[in-house]
Amino acid sequence: MHQFDEKPMIGTNRDLVVMREILEFEISRCQTMAKSSPGQRWIGDRLVSLSRQRIAVSAALVNRRAEAAKRVVDFSRWVSGNGALSCGDQRPGCPA
């Protein structure tokens, strides 16, 4: 049992860059599949999902850089990319 009920850290910037590269590869692969087998609705749905994830990861990286440039860094804002990585519930203001 942990003393604090905190979520584990999302990852380092390097982890997020690798995640974004993997997402870009998967997007490219899905686009190729969509060209070779049109009419497969799941491919379009998958592309939308992957694109949203890529936008969130990219936004988190940008927000982390902006937060890190401040004289006093708020670690909780840095970790989540100022909320960019906690948009799974599709709140207003989250990448769609």
pLDDT at position 53, please? 94
Q: Indicate the pLDDT class of residue 10, thresholds 50, 70 and 90.
A: low
Contact 20, 58 (CB under 8 A): yes
Burial of 7 (0-12, 13-18, 19+ CB in 10 A): exposed
List, for residues 42-61, the tens digit of each pLDDT value: 898 999 999 999 999 999 89
Going by C-beta distance under 8 Å and a sequence separation of 6 or more, which residues neighbour residue 17? Answer: 61
Distance CA 68, CA 95 (A): 22
Residue boundaries of the structural domains of the chain:
13-86
| Other Cβ atoms closer than 10 A to 44 | 13
Distance CA 88, CA 53 (A): 9
DSSP string, 66-90: HHHTSSS--HHHHHTTTTGGG-TT-
Q: Indicate the pLDDT class of residue 1, thresholds 50, 70 and 90.
A: very low
